[in-house]
């Protein structure tokens, strides 16, 4: 039996239910949330109400909105200062360089390898690599690839 949400500030009730589903792995990390339309139908509310709830979850770092794709479940362990996937990819590569897992002069994984590993578009990978180039951690050699700066 469906329990309709009633009362004041319904969006906070939706936040609580979705947060619980994320923490209980009903929506596991890496999965996509149901569409706004599906959530509207489930909770019997207007789209704006669902959007307010989703904005709270995004502010908490539990989900990430990907334009034209939907909302990705992050599981709550995502740093709040990284709102975009390219920033997380850059952080991961930066960590590998700083820990010495990618030694000076070594070749970075190709764009296609990074795309498969992270499940993102080529432009997202390229944005991450541009960040590392601007920081001076990597260099690009036309026709050869990208390398950790010596």
Report the pLDDT value the prediction gives residue 4, as an integer from 0 to 100: 56
The separation between CA 139 and the C-alpha centre of its own chain, rounded to angstroms, equals 26
Nearest to 80, CA basis, from 101, 96, 64: 64
Report the pLDDT value the prediction gives residue 78, as an integer from 0 to 100: 46
Residue-wise pLDDT tens digits, 21-78: 888 878 888 889 999 999 999 999 999 999 999 998 988 888 998 888 899 998 755 4
The top-level CATH class assigned to 10-73 is: mainly alpha
Query: Is the pTM of the predicted complex or chain greater than 0.85?
Result: no
Report the pLDDT value the prediction gives residue 81, as an integer from 0 to 100: 56
Nearest to 60, CA basis, from 19, 25, 90: 19
Cβ contacts of residue 125 below 8 Å, gap of 6+? Answer: 86, 89, 111, 114, 115, 118
Neighbouring CB atoms inside 10 A of 22's CB total 22
Place of tokens 């990074």: 114
pLDDT exceeds 80 at position 92: yes
Domains 10-73 and 85-148 share a fold: yes
Q: How far apart are CA 19 and CA 149, in angstroms?
A: 42
Mean pLDDT of 108-123: 87
Domain residue limits, the chain: 10-73, 85-148
pLDDT exceeds 80 at position 83: no
pLDDT exceeds 90 at position 147: yes
Neighbouring CB atoms inside 10 A of 58's CB total 16
What's the topology of domain 85-148? Arc Repressor Mutant, subunit A (1.10.10)
Q: What is the CA radius of gyration of the chain?
A: 19
Q: How far apart are CA 97 and CA 114, in angstroms?
A: 15
Neighbouring CB atoms inside 10 A of 38's CB total 11
Return the percentage of the chain with pLDDT > 70, whole number.
89
Give the three-state DSSP class for 146: strand
Report the pLDDT value the prediction gives residue 1, as an integer from 0 to 100: 46
């Amino acid at each position: 039996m469906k329990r309709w949400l009633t009362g004041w500030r319904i969006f906070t009730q939706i936040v609580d239910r979705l947060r619980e589903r994320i923490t209980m792995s009903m929506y596991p990390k890496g999965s996509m949330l149901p569409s706004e339309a599906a959530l509207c139908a489930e909770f019997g509310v207007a789209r704006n109400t669902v959007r307010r709830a989703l904005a709270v979850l995004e502010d908490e770092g539990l989900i990430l909105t990907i334009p034209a794709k939907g909302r990705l479940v992050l599981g709550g362990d995502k740093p709040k200062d990284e709102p975009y996937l390219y920033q997380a990819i850059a952080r991961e590569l930066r960590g590998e360089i700083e820990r010495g897992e990618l030694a000076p002069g070594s070749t970075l994984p190709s764009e296609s390898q990074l795309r498969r590993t992270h499940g993102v578009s080529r432009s997202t990978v390229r944005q991450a690599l541009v960040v590392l180039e601007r920081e001076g951690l990597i260099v690009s050699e036309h026709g050869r690839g990208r390398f950790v700066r010596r």
